Amino acid sequence: MKTEKRPGLVRDLDQPKQATYVELFFDVIYIFILFRLSQTLFNQLDWTGAYQTLILLLAVWWVWSYTNLVTDTLDSRLIHIQLLVIATMFGGLLISTTIPEAFEQRGLLFAIAYVAINLGRSSLLAIALRRDPLGRRPLRAVPWFVISAVPWLAGALVDETARVALWSLAIAIDYLAALSGWPTPKLGRTTPSEWNLASEHLAERYRQFIIIALGETVITTGRTFHASEFSLHRGMAFTVAFGTTVLLYFTYFYRTREKLGTAFSHPHEPGSRNRESAFAHLLMVAGIVAITVSDEMTITHATAAAPASWLVIILSGPALFLAGHALLGRHVFTRVSTPRLIGLGVLIAIGPPLVGQPVLVPAAAAAVVLAGVVGFDLLRGGREVGDQSLPPRL
């Protein structure tokens, strides 16, 4: 049964659903953004640094996620949409330059760029789609972005402690408003009929972002190893770091490519499924950022005794990734993966005994846990790994 064709900027769901080149071009800035996030956390390995990095991660993920929703709903082959994506890319690049000092002297530039992206994009879409029912969604978002702009901009004008509090409020407004459908007087909330999800496209975009994030771990591993004086322990740390990235790849991609798209195509509650899948990928990306920091830490300080704060970073990365993938499994395979939950439990259990051990030891232990999860997948799935091919030519 063919879907009804819609005029204007809205994607025709009967047309090919592969990502376009402008979307891949947009993703390029996230190589740098993820690098800046991992460096920010690496330079402040304490609870304050971790929480500030989390706020920044939530902000840049929101920029990517909302842009992804725009290109999934609208036809990104059109020059109007491409220019909007490129303008967002410029704002994202500007944000990336501020990340290390966002809670210091560059906070105002960060806040202005972030607010301008969200408020400007929703306003333009509300105008462009004013004759289409889909236009009500960005129209509802506009007043909420105006509300969140107040703590974003006010936070940039105060000291670090107050900034953390105000930006926590601002990011909470952005996420909670979206999760609740941007409730607005006279317009109500976003309804299932206002979603135009291209399931295969949405799934492909998430896969592409995971590859981008894993690519950042490879870059960090190679850069850190090159900058360090060679030793046997650093060579072992380099091997563990690369092996961990490979295990993350197999954890995510093994036998899921041909099933992930169907997770978004269920006729009921498409918005809810998109939100849960976005949250699952957010957990995995947060895990990859922590793993990137862990890789640099392991190579640089392979034999140093790991304090509790370092241990949390080393083990929380794989734990967050497994938790996110377990949540994603609810959509892909309609169940939560038991091996991933077991792996998550093991990572939590081995933490206390490893405090004070050389950094290389917990990093290797985390890799062993991931290897156990991947090994179970291989044993259960046999040699058939599913469709690993690239999408058709754009």
Q: Are 12 and 73 in contact (CB under 8 A)?
A: no
Residue 292 buriedness (CB in 10 A; 0-12 / 13-18 / 19+): buried
Phi, psi of 324 (to 5 degrees): -65, -40
Domains of the chain are 21-194 (no CATH), 199-381 (1.20.1410)
Q: How far apart are CA 373 and CA 346, in angstroms?
A: 11
* Count, residues in the chain: 394
CB 33 within 8 A of CB 10: no
Do 76 and 85 touch, CB atoms closer than 8 A?
Answer: yes
Question: Given this model, what pLDDT does residue 219 score?
Answer: 93
- The pLDDT value given to residue 198: 58
Walking along the chain (394 residues) 10 residues at a time, the average pLDDT comes out as 53 68 92 93 90 96 90 84 94 94 94 96 88 81 95 95 96 92 83 65 87 93 91 94 95 66 53 76 95 94 90 94 87 70 93 92 96 87 53 48
Residue 168: partners with Cβ closer than 8 Å, 6 or more residues away = 55
**330: Cβ–Cβ under 8 A, 6 or more apart, which residues?**
276, 336
pTM of the predicted model, to two decimals? 0.88
- pLDDT at residue 14, rounded to an integer: 58
CA dist 113 and 54 (Å) reads: 18
pLDDT at 51: 94
CA distance 271 to 197: 9
pLDDT at residue number 272: 64
